[in-house]
Amino acid sequence: MPSAAPATPSATGSSPARPPGTSAASLEAGFPDAGNTGPRVRLTPKSTGNLSVRTDGAVIRGQDITGSLDVYANDVTVIDSRITSTNWWGVNLRPGYHGLRVLHSTITAIPGKGPDNGGVNYAVSNMGTSSIEVGWCDISVFGNALSMGQGYLHDNYVHGLVPFRNNGGEWQHTDAVISGGGNRGKLVIRHNTLLNPVAVDRGASAAVGLFADTGHVTDAVIDDNLLAGGAYALYGGGDGATGITVTDNVFSTRYHPGSGFYGPVAAWNAGGSGNVWRGNRFSDGTAVTPEPAG
């Protein structure tokens, strides 16, 4: 669980860098939205309840599923489907398995009907032994929507996160993408729309949260995304983070003037081996310059 957000900003904007004739709307154009994510086919309703998938190579295609998928198998593909869950997760890959792909699907939940005091936690969770792919998906409601230390997350529209108090009575932290550190594989987050509209006094954490909860954060790429909301839009992994590249992202100010409530980025380790910060800007074209982690 990420720690509480600090109360002071940790990033600044430098001189405006917007090319002549551009606008906030034009810089935010072209990122994933409801019109280019989710299923591409007519769906077949299937009221399954919570389903365990145990067949290697299974393909779940064109289904409108009321329930969740718990994957105990290798190389499972979920494609052109809709999952409406009231479970802890929408799709969960269990430890010891690999090769999950979730593509062109809608993954959502029913607010107030989940098991965590009415809340739901993870749209897609990778507890497995290798990278998984999540692409072209429309994802909403879940508190920590995409939860993994390794994976290829691309062309997704993550929005409408719903805050809730967990079973302990505390506001659950919310993140569009969250990694707890200690990962052994690579995490690539490329060309997604990652929005966290939740208020900070109701648990908002980040649009992308790289946290050293279970070990140092290493080997992550955050490239060409539209980020907005959270306490900070991006948590960069902290003092021990290495091999983190953050390039050509747009930090939208649609929820807060600083993109996140306190600012665009916190916990960036500028001196970490292999860490790169380049081409990141606010939606008005102003460059985003992080302060050192502390």
Helical (H) or strand (E) element with 174:
strand 174-179
Model confidence pLDDT, tens digit, residues 43-61: 999 878 999 999 999 999 9
Model confidence pLDDT, tens digit, residues 142-198: 999 999 999 999 999 999 999 999 999 999 999 999 998 877 789 999 999 999 999
Taking residues 1-23, report their average pLDDT. Answer: 40
Half-sphere exposure (Cβ direction) of 286: Cα atoms closer than 13 Å: 17
> Which amino acid is residue 69, in one-letter code?
L
Q: Please report the pLDDT score of residue 23 as a whole number.
A: 55
Residues 6 or more apart from 83 whose CB is under 8 A from it?
A: 65, 67, 68, 69, 90, 91, 105, 106, 107, 108
Sheet hosting strand 69-71, strand order edge to edge: 51-53, 69-71, 89-93, 122-126, 144-147, 174-179, 204-210, 232-236, 263-266
Query: Of 47-56, 247-256, 285-294, which range is least confident?
Result: 285-294
**Looking at the predicted structure, is the pLDDT value of residue 3 above 80?**
no
Model confidence pLDDT, tens digit, residues 103-148: 999 999 999 999 999 999 999 999 988 899 999 999 999 999 999 9
What is the pTM for the complete model shown? 0.92
Q: Please report the pLDDT score of residue 24 as a whole number.
A: 64
Point out which residues pair with 282 in neighbouring strands: 251
Boundaries of every domain in the chain: 34-290
Taking residues 232-238, report their average pLDDT. Answer: 97
Q: How far apart are CA 205 and CA 220, in angstroms?
A: 19
Decide: 241 and 212 in contact? Cβ < 8 Å: yes
Q: Please report the pLDDT score of residue 44 as a whole number.
A: 92
